[in-house]
Amino acid sequence: GELHIGILLENMRREGFEMAVSRPTVIVREQDGIKQEPYEHVTVDVPKEYQGAVIEKLGKRGAEMTHMQTNPDGTTRIEFICPTRGLIGYASEFLTDTKGTGVLHHVFHDYGPYIGSMPGRSNGVLVSMVDGEAVAYALWKLQERGKMFIGPGERVYEGMIIGIHNRDTDLVVNPVKGKKLTNIRASGKDDAIDLVPPIPLTLERAIEFIAEDELVEITPKSIRLRKRLLKENERKRATRVSDA
């Protein structure tokens, strides 16, 4: 899973390698002319108040519940058969839904029918339109649009993902734009810049988070997210071609 990939990449990173990594994919095969994909046997132990959210989320990811029982400690054990694709990126969502109290375990079950497209990430991203150094004032203004991955003073470049958009679409932004200065003295007090701390990025979280058109850029000193196509006009052209 993502944890094993993360350990391998972290070891390579410490050895000085630099790389760009795409979202994990599964090995699809054809059996007697029928397209098949791998399925996992999933076991979760959760407090009763969170079982509804877990069943709903896994159901949207193609999982089928096979068994449910109450454990001696009062928690609920639920078993599913779920496409491996449906579990990519689910671990962090599971921890959020269960407030860190749930236990998730999965192991390869068998190959089964390919079930088509999976629901993607529910939020879009904030994408930098320029190269430069992030400015506190710009990040402060962008906070109302989403949650940040970066802080002031960090280097950014065109096509780099700097945060999570509040909506389900991507938004191109300028994180290096400073406050416009004039020679007119303000009559009131300037607004204090109060920045929310950025979301820390681990390798596992980054690999889980990215969409098909995005990459995790890994260097010995940093972990960044970026669009596969850095320029906005190239991304728009690629979208038009895929929709045609």
Assess if residue 148 is contained within a domain.
Answer: yes
56, 81, 113 — which closes off a domain? 113
Single-letter residue type at 153: G
pLDDT score at 180: 73
Establish how many alpha carbons lie within 13 A of residue 21's alpha carbon, considering only the half-sphere containing its beta carbon. Answer: 27
113, 144, 167 — which closes off a domain? 113
Check pLDDT > 90 for residue 2. no
| Exposed / middle / buried, residue 173 (Cβ in 10 Å: 0-12, 13-18, 19+) | buried
Number of other CB atoms surrounding residue 195 within 10 Å? 13
Instruction: Let me know: does 113 contact 36? Beta carbons within 8 Å.
Output: yes
Confidence band, pLDDT 50/70/90 cuts, at residue 185: low
Check pLDDT > 90 for residue 183. no
Check pLDDT > 80 for residue 244. no
Token pair, residue 6, equals 């993360």
Instruction: Let me know: does 91 contact 105? Beta carbons within 8 Å.
Output: no
Assess if residue 170 is contained within a domain.
Answer: yes
CA R_g for the chain: 21
Token pair, residue 18, equals 């630099």
Residue with tokens 């132990």: 45
CATH code of the domain containing 137: 2.40.50.250
CATH code of the domain containing 82: 3.30.70.240
Residue with tokens 């998730």: 104
Query: CA 101, CA 54: separation in Å to the nearest integer?
Result: 12
Residues 25-42: pLDDT tens digits? 899 999 999 999 999 999
Question: Count of domains in the chain?
Answer: 2
Residue with tokens 């960090």: 154
Same domain (yes/no): 107, 158: no
pLDDT score at 190: 54
Question: What rounded mean pLDDT belongs to the chain?
Answer: 90
Please give the share of the chain, as a percent, with pLDDT higher than 90.
Answer: 70
Q: Roughly how many angstroms between the first and final C-alpha of the chain, as a whole number? A: 34
Check pLDDT > 70 for residue 191. no
Residue span of the structural domain in which 221 resides: 125-243
pTM for this predicted structure: 0.80
pLDDT score at 186: 57
Query: CA 244, CA 239: separation in Å to the nearest integer?
Result: 9
pLDDT score at 226: 97
Assess if residue 6 is contained within a domain.
Answer: no
Same domain (yes/no): 131, 227: yes
Same domain (yes/no): 59, 145: no
Residues 73-132: pLDDT tens digits? 999 999 999 999 999 888 888 988 999 999 999 999 999 999 988 877 888 999 999 999
Same domain (yes/no): 39, 141: no
Residues 39-71: pLDDT tens digits? 999 999 999 999 999 999 999 999 999 999 999
Please give the share of the chain, as a percent, with pLDDT higher than 70.
Answer: 95
Confidence band, pLDDT 50/70/90 cuts, at residue 182: low
